Amino acid sequence: MTIEAGQPLAGQPTSARQAGPRRPLGGLGRAALGRAGRAALLATGRPPVPDALEPLVQAHRRHHPQADLGLLGRAYRLAEESHRGQKRKSGEPYITHPLAVTMILAQLGAGTTTLVASLLHDTVEDTELTLDQVAEGFGPEVAYLVDGVTKLEKVDFGAAAEAETFRKMLVATGDDVRVMVIKLADRLHNMRTIRHMKPASQVRIAKVTRDVLIPLAERLGIQVLKAELEDIVFATLHPEEHTRTRALLARHEDGPDTLLAPFAGALGRQLAEAGIAAEVTVRPRHCVSLHRVLLKRDAAPGRDGRPQEPQPADFGRLLVVVEDNADCYAVLGELHTCWTPLPGEFKDFVAAPKFNLYQSLHTAVALAGGEVVEVLVRTRRMHEVAETGVVALGDPRQSARGGEQAPDELDRTDPARPGWLSRLLEWQQETPDPDAFWSALTADLAGDREITAVTELGETLQLRAGATCVDAAYLLGEETGHRCIGARVNGRLVALSTVLQDGDRVAILTDGSDTPDGPRGPYGSEGPDGPDGPDGSENSGPAPEWLAHARTPAARIAIERWLADHPPRRPVVRTGPSAGQPAPPAHPVAAGRPAVPVTAAGRPGAPVRLARCCTPVPPDPIVGYPIRGGAVAVHRAGCPAGERMRDDGRGALEVHWRPGGAPPAGYRATLRAEALNRPRLLADLTAAISGEGVGIVSAEVEPPQELRVRHTYTVELPDPAALAAVLRAMLRVSGVYDVERPHAPPGGGPGRAPAVPSAAADGPARDPAAPEGNADDPPAPGVRPSWGIHGRTAAFSGQRSPSPNRGPEG
Rounded to an integer, the average pLDDT of 781-795 is 30
d(CA 377, CA 375): 7
Is 50 exceeded by the pLDDT of residue 777? no
In eight-state DSSP terms, residue 183 is H
Higher pLDDT, 419 or 159: 159
Reported as a single tens digit per residue, the pLDDT across 704-742 is: 887 788 999 988 888 888 888 999 999 888 888 889 888
Name residue 569's amino acid.
R
Q: Look at residue 21 in the predicted model and tell me its pLDDT.
A: 39
- Identify which of 314, 286, 283, 284 has the alpha carbon closest to the alpha carbon of residue 298: 314
Q: Look at residue 568 in the predicted model and tell me its pLDDT.
A: 65
Is 60 exceeded by the pLDDT of residue 481? yes
Rounded to an integer, the average pLDDT of 304-313 is 76
Q: Give me the half-sphere count of Cα atoms (radius 13 Å) on the Cβ side of residue 674.
A: 21
Q: Look at residue 305 in the predicted model and tell me its pLDDT.
A: 65
d(CA 386, CA 663): 80
Name residue 494's amino acid.
V
Rounded to an integer, the average pLDDT of 624-632 is 82
Q: Residues 440, 446, 452, 454: what is their CA dihedral angle, to the nearest 10 degrees?
A: -30
Contacts of 409 (CB under 8 A, 6+ apart): none
Q: How confident is the model at residue 593 (pLDDT cuts 50, 70, 90)?
A: very low
Q: Look at residue 574 in the predicted model and tell me its pLDDT.
A: 47
Reported as a single tens digit per residue, the pLDDT across 144-187 is: 999 988 887 755 666 677 878 888 888 888 888 899 899 999 99
**96-112 core/surface letters (b: 16 or more CB in 10 A; e: else):** bbbbbbbbbbbbbbbbb
Is 80 exceeded by the pLDDT of residue 618? yes
Q: How many residues does the chain have?
A: 810
Contacts of 369 (CB under 8 A, 6+ apart): none
700 CB neighbour count, 10 Å cutoff? 11
In eight-state DSSP terms, residue 12 is S
Rounded to an integer, the average pLDDT of 589-613 is 70
Q: What is the SS3 assignment for 415-454?
A: CCCCHHHHHHHHHHCCCCCHHHHHHHHHHHHHCCCEEEEE
d(CA 604, CA 56): 112
Higher pLDDT, 536 or 248: 248
Q: How confident is the model at residue 666 (pLDDT cuts 50, 70, 90)?
A: confident
d(CA 732, CA 235): 63
d(CA 83, CA 366): 57
- Identify which of 541, 535, 537 has the alpha carbon closest to the alpha carbon of residue 511: 541
The residues pairing with 716 across neighbouring beta strands, listed in sequence order, are 668, 695
d(CA 669, CA 371): 70
Q: Look at residue 122 in the predicted model and tell me its pLDDT.
A: 92
Reported as a single tens digit per residue, the pLDDT across 444-465 is: 677 656 778 888 888 878 787 8
| 526 contacts 515 by C-beta, under 8 angstroms | no
**272-307 core/surface letters (b: 16 or more CB in 10 A; e: else):** eeeebebebbbeebbbbbbbebbeeeeeeeeeeeee
d(CA 147, CA 182): 11
d(CA 164, CA 157): 8
Rounded to an integer, the average pLDDT of 108-132 is 92
Q: How confident is the model at residue 201 (pLDDT cuts 50, 70, 90)?
A: very high
First CA to last CA distance, the chain: 67
Contacts of 734 (CB under 8 A, 6+ apart): 511, 526, 527, 529, 531, 533, 539, 678, 684, 787
| 450 contacts 503 by C-beta, under 8 angstroms | no
Q: Look at residue 759 in the predicted model and tell me its pLDDT.
A: 32
d(CA 506, CA 474): 13
Is 80 exceeded by the pLDDT of residue 571? no
- Identify which of 468, 431, 473, 430 has the alpha carbon closest to the alpha carbon of residue 447: 468
Q: How confident is the model at residue 117 (pLDDT cuts 50, 70, 90)?
A: very high
SS3 content of the chain, % helix, strand, coil (to 5): 40, 15, 45
Q: Positive or negative, the Cα torsion across 324, 328, 331, 337?
A: negative
d(CA 117, CA 143): 7
Q: Look at residue 643 in the predicted model and tell me its pLDDT.
A: 86
Which of 127-141, 376-390, 757-771 is the least confident region? 757-771
Q: Look at residue 599 in the predicted model and tell me its pLDDT.
A: 83
Q: Look at residue 237 in the predicted model and tell me its pLDDT.
A: 93
Active site residues: 125-126
418 CB neighbour count, 10 Å cutoff? 23
Q: Give me the half-sphere count of Cα atoms (radius 13 Å) on the Cβ side of residue 351.
A: 6
d(CA 352, CA 46): 50
Q: Look at residue 595 in the predicted model and tell me its pLDDT.
A: 60
Q: Look at residue 447 in the predicted model and tell me its pLDDT.
A: 61
The alpha helices in 212-305, defined as continuous H runs, are: 214-219, 223-237, 239-254, 260-273, 287-299
Mean pLDDT of the chain: 75
CA 321 to chain centre: 33
d(CA 110, CA 62): 11
Across the beta sheet with 695-701, the strand order is: 695-701, 708-717, 667-676, 736-740
